[in-house]
Amino acid sequence: MADIIVTTTENIPGKNYEIIGEVFGVTTQSRNALSDIVASLKSVIGGEVKGYTKMLTTSRVEAIQRLRDEAKTMGADAVVMMRFDSGTIASDMQSIVAYGTAVKFVD
């Protein structure tokens, strides 16, 4: 079976589909204490905190994969209108959610 298509658009050119339902992919990550100290120092002098950028990039990839896995379990061929949401839990954790609408292709 081909990989689940994930798109931020409502329509997939050349495809007709029926809606199956909502799907979500969630991950929560934290950095270690040493990274938090380095990030605190970086906030004083400014600039990108590469450790956090890497963590968020990895989290987005993982959230999309979990979204695909849930859509596949539902029998979907694609996820349309995919979006991300994020939030902070406590002071040292970041949660990323990928969500969208699972669809099944029809002729």
Stated pTM of the model: 0.80
Q: How many domains does the chain have?
A: 1
Residue 13: what pLDDT? 94
pLDDT for residue 8 is more than 50? yes
Phi first, then psi, for residue 35 (nearest 5°) are -65, -35
Q: Amino acid identity of 24?
A: F
Domain extent at residue 40: 5-13+31-106
Query: Residue 24 domain-assigned?
Result: no
The lowest-confidence range among 31-35, 59-63, 96-100, 101-105 is 31-35
Is the pLDDT score of 69 beyond 80?
yes
Residue 23 covered by a domain: no
Q: Could you read off the pLDDT of 75-107 as tens digits, one per residue?
A: 999 999 999 998 887 767 788 999 999 999 998
| 19 occurs within a structural domain | no
Residue 48 falls within a domain, yes or no? yes
- 27 in Cβ contact with 105 (< 8 Å): no
Higher model confidence: residue 37 or residue 70? 70
The confidence score (pLDDT) of residue 80 equals 98
Describe the chain by its helix, strand, coil percentages, rounded to 5: 35, 40, 25
CA separation, residue 5 to residues 36, 41, 97 (Å): 36, 41, 17
On whether residue 83 sits in a domain, the answer given is yes
Q: Is 91 within the bounds of a domain?
A: yes
Q: How confident is the model at residue 1 (pLDDT cuts 50, 70, 90)?
A: very low
Whether the CB-CB separation of 7 and 80 falls below 8 Å is answered with: yes
* Domain CATH for 70: 3.30.110
